[in-house]
Amino acid sequence: MKIEMAPSVVLENLEDLYFELVPKQVDLRKKRPTYLSKEKKRTTKLMGIDAVKEAISDIDINKLKNIYLIGTEPLFNPDFNRILRFCLHFAPTTVVTGAQNINEKKARFLEKVQNERENNYPLIFNIILYHFDERINDTYCVRGDFRKVMHAIDSLQKYGFSPIIVVNNKTETQEKELIEGFEKVFGRYGLIQPKIIINTKSAVDPDMSKLNFVKLTKKLHCAKSRVFSSAGVFSCPVLVGDNRARMGTTLKDFSKTNYLETENCKNCISKELENKNIADKTFV
């Protein structure tokens, strides 16, 4: 009996490193990051600065090109400021954030962090939104978040940052409509028009058995990236917590082969087939 194997991607060089600073179990509707249950509080930990330092020491820094700080809301991590400063010593660092707690005071501090580095690695902010309509957007997060994000964008722009807006298109709105809608909103708030990236499900449904994976998989993001979290090492930010994507416990000793078994993997392949540069997408 012939056994069908899922296509695989082999990590060539670890160029993009993700740190999940706040696990998905944290309830951000609270003023402070509170776990949803006592059981999860006992079994889940926020990543500390020592874990980040150990992870960095386990990899080849010379091959590292980008660091991403991700999670439910990375700024809620008590060690966020120390972790950010540390990461900027080694590579350009992108914070993927809902930005609800970024105000002028925080933006001024972040500008200070950016400017105190001698290596001039940039600090980048990818801000998550869902729709240009305030009411629709807030149904996917917390009421009032949309206006907080507009204020955060304004604050960051005042201190020299150019935040990127990442739209998780859960409503499956047409891309052109989303971009035009956001441009009007930004104009209404008096903001400099930021770069907009639309994350949406691909319309292509590939026949996995007929694809040339030798050429294709080298273009997939998991061929050059890994995620380090409190639950271990994973191949993709979308799949943190999914055992099919778990590569190991530490960055010192983890599997370099990732099997494309999930629907998210299929969607990622579909985006590549649509000639989209999936490496520029930000998954949360």
Greatest CA span in the chain, whole angstroms?
A: 65
Express each pLDDT in 85-98 by its tens digit. 999 999 999 999 99
Neighbours of 55 (CB within 10 A): 18
Give this prediction's pTM: 0.86
- Cα–Cα distance between 21 and 231 in angstroms, integer? 11
Express each pLDDT in 265-279 by its tens digit. 888 887 777 655 444
Express each pLDDT in 120-169 by its tens digit. 899 999 999 999 999 999 999 888 999 999 999 999 999 999 999 999 99
Assign residue 162 a region: left if phi > 0, alpha if psi is -120 to 50, beta otherwise? beta
Residue ranges per structural domain of the chain? 13-204+223-256
Amino acid at 167: V
Share of the chain above pLDDT 70, in %: 81
Evaluate if residue 104 carries a pLDDT over 50: yes
Nearest in space to 76 (alpha carbons), one of 105, 96, 52, 55: 96
- Cα–Cα distance between 249 and 120 in angstroms, integer? 32
Q: What is residue 37's predicted lDDT score, i.e. its pLDDT?
A: 45
Looking at per-residue pLDDT, the higher value among 22 and 215 belongs to 22
Evaluate if residue 6 carries a pLDDT over 80: no
Share of the chain above pLDDT 90, in %: 62
Express each pLDDT in 214-231 by its tens digit. 556 667 888 899 999 999
CA distances from 26 to 45, 62, 226 (A): 10, 34, 22
Express each pLDDT in 183-210 by its tens digit. 999 999 999 999 999 987 766 565 555 5
Least confident window among 122-126, 242-246, 261-265: 261-265
Answer for the pair 87, 36: CB distance below 8 angstroms, yes or no.
no
CA distances from 195 to 20, 89, 157, 166, 281 (A): 24, 26, 12, 9, 12
Q: Which CATH number fits domain 13-204+223-256: 3.40.50.170, 3.20.20.70, 3.40.50.20, 3.40.50.1100?
A: 3.20.20.70
Answer for the pair 275, 119: CB distance below 8 angstroms, yes or no.
no
Q: What is residue 36's predicted lDDT score, i.e. its pLDDT?
A: 42
- Cα–Cα distance between 35 and 25 in angstroms, integer? 6
Q: What is residue 41's predicted lDDT score, i.e. its pLDDT?
A: 45
4-35 exposure pattern, b = at least 16 Cβ within 10 A, e = fewer: eeebebebeebbbbbbbbbbebbebeeeebeb
List the strands of the sheet with 16-22, edge to edge. 196-199, 164-168, 123-129, 93-97, 66-71, 16-22, 225-229, 232-234, 246-248
Strands 225-229 and 16-22: parallel
**Average pLDDT over every residue of 14-31:** 77
